Amino acid sequence: MTIFQILKTDHNNVKTILKRIEKLDETEQAERLELFEQVKDELLIHLKAEEKAVYLKLKQEDSTRELTFEALEEHGLVQYLLQQIDSVDPEDERWSAKVTVLREVVEHHINDEEKEIFPEMKKSFSSRELGEMAREMEALKKERRIPGRRAFAKAGKRAA
Ligand SMILES: [Fe+2]
Ligand SMILES: [Fe+2]
C-alpha cells in the first residue's frame, strides 16, 4: 500500500467507528464504551505513527511546514477530547456531546490532510521518500498493536 492508501484506510476506519458510536443511545452504555475504547486505540495509534513517519519529514519542507504545524495542533485537540470523553460516564448527557465534537474535529482534520497535505506531499517528495514513509508508518503501527490488548487502555479503568 502507498502512504496515501495507508492513511486513508485509517481515516475511513475511525470515521466509521465514530458514526457508529453516535447512533447508539444512553441505554447502550456497554456498546458505547466498547466502541469508544476501540476508536481511541485506532486514533492514538494513527496519530503517533503519523507524527513520526510522516509529519517529521513534512516539517522539514517549506511547502508543507505550516500545514504540518496546524495539523499537529489538531492532533493535540483530538487527544484532549479523548481525555475529556474518558472523564465522564457514557450515560452522562455530556458524553455524547463530547463524542460529537470529537467526530467533527476528526473529520475536519482528515479533510485538511487529504485535501491539502496529500497534494503537497505528492509534489514535494520523491516516490522513494513516500515509500519510506509507508514502510515506517506500517512498522510503527504494528509495534503498538498487541493482539488481544488495548494499545492505550486507561490504567485501572475499563482495561480489556
Ligand atoms: Fe491522518
Ligand atoms: Fe493527522
* Residue 126 identity: S
Cα–ligand 2 centroid distance for 27 (angstroms)? 32
Distance 113 CA to ligand 2 centre (A): 7
Angle at 17 between CA 12 and CA 23, to 5 degrees: 130
How far apart, in whole angstroms, are the C-alpha atoms of residue 55 and residue 48?
10
Over residues 38-71, the pLDDT tens digits come to 999 999 999 999 999 999 999 999 999 999 999 9
**Mean pLDDT over residues 111-120, rounded?**
98
CA of 123 to the centre of ligand 2 (A): 19
Q: What nine digits make up the cell of 83? A: 481525555
Query: What's the gap in Å between 79 CA and the centre of ligand 1?
Result: 13
Q: Which residues are found with C-beta within 5 Å of the ion, ligand 2?
A: 50
Tens of pLDDT, residues 86-100: 999 998 999 999 999
The grid coordinates listed for 39 are: 476508536
What are the φ and ψ backbone dihedral angles of 78, each rounded to 5 degrees?
-60, -45
What's the whole-model pTM score?
0.91
Contact 149/15 with Cβ under 8 angstroms? no
